[in-house]
A and B are shown apart, each in its own frame.
Chain A
Amino acid sequence: MSGATPALSVRRLRKSFGAVVAVDEVSLDAAPGEFLSLLGPSGCGKSTVLRMVAGLLPPDAGQVVLAGEDITRVAVHRRNLGLVFQSYALFPHMTVLENVAFGLRRRGVGEAELRPRVERMLELVRLGPLGARHPRELSGGQQQRVALARALVTEPRVLLLDEPLSNLDALLRDEMRVELKRLQERLGTTMIFVTHDQAEALILSDRVVVMQGGRVEQVGPPEEVYRRPATPFVARFLGRANFFTGTVAGAEAGGTVVALDGGLSVVAGPRPGLTPGQRVQVAIRQENIRLGPAGAASDRANRFAATVVFHAFAGQAHHYVVQLADGRELEVAAPGAALPLARGAPAVIEWGPEDVVLLAGSESGAGGPA
């Protein structure tokens, strides 16, 4: 980020459709060469932001600034941005070559220069020999590459991607993720990537922007957003966690003690700013809970006796539901290689203070796992 001019800035962008506020005062910066994801559930306004950046939707208020230049009022076709659509929107009446050449032709690039540029781009996305085909003759993954090539060949200042991988099957999606990331590293293009898939956002991004209800909930690198969610929504949306409500009982230098509603208390890391008596939400991720047979030795701060009430094997992990003495149930994910515990087996669960996420406020009263 440093002091350099952002490749793209969005300032206090607003858009409503009738009475519905789709985008509410959204501000963002993308550094040159950055891979920035807009992550959120459908209807959170992420695609609307993208369409306003592209110029396909006029904002009600706010600015879109491209490398220091205000382009809010610049017509779509003069913005020199790339956009990859969820449906790919390949021109069905043109060949792959013609599709990719379309943007260059609009820029008045001569035929002599056009041909090699298009072919180089097709090589780059590994579609070299398919230039004469029509889009309907290509597989989903190939169509996806044509869409990428078409958007990148004009060397756009920023590439916008609107859920580009959501129409691919799971295996192909994993493959395209890697390819997209490598393409971005190679070309150094600033990319704004809209997705509802949290894993996709975490894997690909330099930074993730989590959105909900037209607002930005949190911006940060994947690890930070995942480990230190700023709001209960972010905690729930990224990964699976167990949620509890409670009251801060003691805040010392060594840690924060929270008395959960219903009896138990947990120890969290030091959290300056929290005062005793304050209501908080507590989130503990499934995979941060260690599960062992009853009696296993440990030095963790949070340690409870539990009974296994559900177990399922899911390849990479074992999924458990365990019940504590007070009837409270928690979801636990243990590594797939670990020896499984049978249903009804007495067990111990434990986690470190650093694994406890504390969120001020307690708007959501639900105590069970999310």
Chain B
Amino acid sequence: MTGGRGGGLLLPAILLLLVAFLLPVGLMVPTSFRPYVPLVGITNGFTIGYYTRLVTDSYYLEIIGRTLALGLTVTLSTLVLGYPMAFFLARTRSRWRNWLTILVVFPLLLNLVVRTFGWIALLAQNGLVNQALQALGVVHEPVKLLFNFAGLLIGLTHIFLPFMVLVLIGPIQNIPRDVEDAARVLGASWGSAFLRVTLPLSAPGILSGSILVFVLTISALVTPRLLGGPTYQVMSTLIYDEFLQRLNWPAGSAEAVLLTGMVLALVFFSGVLARRTGARA
């Protein structure tokens, strides 16, 4: 028994991932080099045109740049909003602690379309946010918050904030309180104890949370589509349109390969970084 039959038990899961994940994703690479002729379809031939287009055409460069900019800003804002929250949840001795954690998990498990829909209602021209801003006299004309960067930033920050908080709680919890107390006893103010001890010790969590949020943001489809509309594109919505509207599968495949490459590179990079700093991502 011991040591045996491990392979057999793994077989269904491995088979599933080979057939319905690795193989299909791998097959996108050859497709991305096939020429697509409108009204004819995918032809036999070879082209790297869809890749060169992505890195030279300003239309695509803008989309890629926007996607990465969103990734970066969403990561930073979830970190700023989420770190204090994770710190609180990691340290509180409240008996409501578990339920507060569940309250963070709740939006995560709530349907993504539903959550995004809420932001449409909030961010529209006559939405609650504009009403509030006008009532407070901050602005006199409605501010445009949909179909632009601000809208996507707000919506995606909301969507991915729970991931950041949940990833941070563990590493912050694992910091021994003694170490902070030791810093205080040695003469550090609360601020410098936090900056020199607590924050560096939670670096592994910050790294893995940031990578996770960044990767999820640049991969997101539903929220950018609903809050950005068909014109304010990011990479995922571009891939979506190539496959379902323009039916240009090779172009879509090339874009998908690029997006996948970026995600894998980031995950690999974070692994290397984590190993180099001696921490685990």
Contact = CB atoms under 8 A, between A and B. Distances in A.
Direct contact of A and B (CB under 8 A): yes
A58 B4 CA distance: 11
Interface residues of B, number: 2
A298 B2 CA distance: 64
A298 B1 CA distance: 66
A81 B66 CA distance: 69
A56 B2 CA distance: 8
Contacts, number: 4
Interface in B1-50: 1-2
Interface residues of A, number: 4
Contacts of B1: 76
Interface of B: 1-2
A109 interface: no
A56 B1 CA distance: 8
A57 B1 CA distance: 9
Interface string A34-77: 00000000000000000000001110000000000000000010
| Overall SS of chain A's interface | loop
A330 to B, nearest CB: 46
B212 to A, nearest CB: 34
A58 B3 CA distance: 11
A277 B164 CA distance: 79
Nearest to B1: A76
4 contacts: A56-B2, A57-B2, A58-B2, A76-B1
Contacts of A58: 2
Contacts of A76: 1
Contacts of A56: 2
A58 B2 CA distance: 9
A76 B1 CA distance: 9
B75 to A, nearest CB: 42
A57 B2 CA distance: 8
Contacts of B2: 56-58
A76 B2 CA distance: 11
Interface in A231-260: none
Nearest to B4: A58
A142 to B, nearest CB: 30
Interface string A76-120: 100000000000000000000000000000000000000000000
Contacts of A57: 2
B6 to A, nearest CB: 15
B139 to A, nearest CB: 61
A320 to B, nearest CB: 43
Nearest to A76: B1
B195 to A, nearest CB: 43
A207 B1 CA distance: 33
Nearest to B3: A58
B5 to A, nearest CB: 14
Nearest to A57: B2
A153 B2 CA distance: 26
